[in-house]
Amino acid sequence: MLDVDVGIDDALMMLYLASLPQVEIVAVGSTHGNCTAEQAAVNALRVLEAVGLDHIPVAEGALSPMPHPTTSPHVHGHDGLGDTGLPLPRGAVSGESAVDQLVRLSAERPGELDLLAVGCMTNLDLALSRDPESLRRFRSVTILGGISETPAPGTREFYDANVYHSPYAADRLFASGTPITVVPIDLSYRAVLEDRHLEALRTGTTPQAQFAWKILPFYCTFYEERLGRWSACMHDPIAGGLFVDESLIMAEVSHPMEVEPYLERWRAVGRADAAPDGRAPLRILTEADYTRFLDDFVAALLRPIVS
């Protein structure tokens, strides 16, 4: 089950998961972040229809709880998918809220489904408020967000968008005692496509590769100044990759995570020392086999989907 704020890298992750024969996407819930929850739901439908998975229900998530909610049009375009003029989807959202969908599926299929959440954590927090055991009924919960530890002075600082867009929800989730695997932003920033990956996607003929190449250039142009070359970080895709294939995980720690003010924003950090409120440690991944993941990711998008 996916909880996604479908911008460009969310869409790439969905295309990747759809390409893997060992993965079944059961349902999608939208959340805000890269774009609004409403737009994210539309984009999820676009992605699923592009690869023939239009039978998968998409539920629209909660509105942003922040007084002045923000999105990221400079990163993902005003439509979340690079402003490429993609046609509207043929289908529509299910009519069920993403929160109701989370709670219902966890109750109907306890221990059967995995939850992969790569947007802000509003839907997860609301599901816990409604049913404190709801997330524990998933076989696993994996999120993208936070940083593994407080950066040392003079080292690179990381922008934690998934926490920034809903910081109170994130902190309540981290304090809930729910067993969570965290893919932090300081890990995902290191998953950067190489030129050979970009060329393979540019010339790919599968629906996944062609959809990816429609939206990737906008993302690569945004990252060009930050990376020093025309490419992009595969934040959401590597979260999906580490969820699917744990042999890609090279190192991890077990620390509590809490949200703290950072400049004019918020961020979540892993605490090597115990958190002040005694919250339980989370599984935080800190190192991955980036090259093998990126090779596998691109290869999956180049293979025909076997239904």
> Length of the chain in residues, anyone?
307
Amino acid at 195: D
Strand partners, 293: none
What gap in Å lies between CA 263 and CA 157, rounded to an integer?
11
Q: Among the listed ranges 52-66, 86-100, 196-210, 286-300, which one has the minimum average pLDDT value?
A: 52-66
**pLDDT for 111:** 97
**pLDDT for 306:** 80
In 3D, which of 44, 62, 45 has the Cα closest to residue 99? 62
Which CATH number does the domain 2-302 belong to among 2.60.40.10, 3.40.718.10, 3.90.245.10, 3.40.1640.10?
A: 3.90.245.10
pLDDT value at 155 more than 80: no
Q: What is the DSSP letter of 304?
A: P
pLDDT tens readout for residues 13-56 = 999 999 999 999 999 999 999 999 999 999 999 999 999 999 99
pLDDT tens readout for residues 204-231 = 999 999 999 999 999 999 999 999 999 9
pLDDT tens readout for residues 89-126 = 999 999 999 999 999 999 999 999 999 999 999 999 99
In 3D, which of 48, 90, 114 has the Cα closest to residue 305? 48
Average pLDDT over residues 58-74: 85
pLDDT tens readout for residues 161-188 = 999 989 999 999 999 999 999 999 999 9
With a CB cutoff of 8 Å and minimum separation 6, the contacts of 261 are none
Burial of residue 209, with CB atoms counted within 10 A of its CB: 0-12 exposed, 13-18 middle, 19 or more buried: buried
**pLDDT for 160:** 87
The enclosing H or E element of 104 equals helix 98-108
Q: What is the DSSP letter of 116?
A: E
In 3D, which of 39, 62, 3, 7 has the Cα closest to residue 222? 7
- Written in H, E and C, the secondary structure of 244-292 is HCHHHEEEEEEECEEEEEECCEEEEEECCCCCCCCCCCEEEEEEECHHH
The model's pTM:
0.96
- Per-residue buried b or exposed e for 31-54, using 16+ beta carbons within 10 Å of the residue's own CB: bbbbbbbebbbbbbbbbbbbbebe
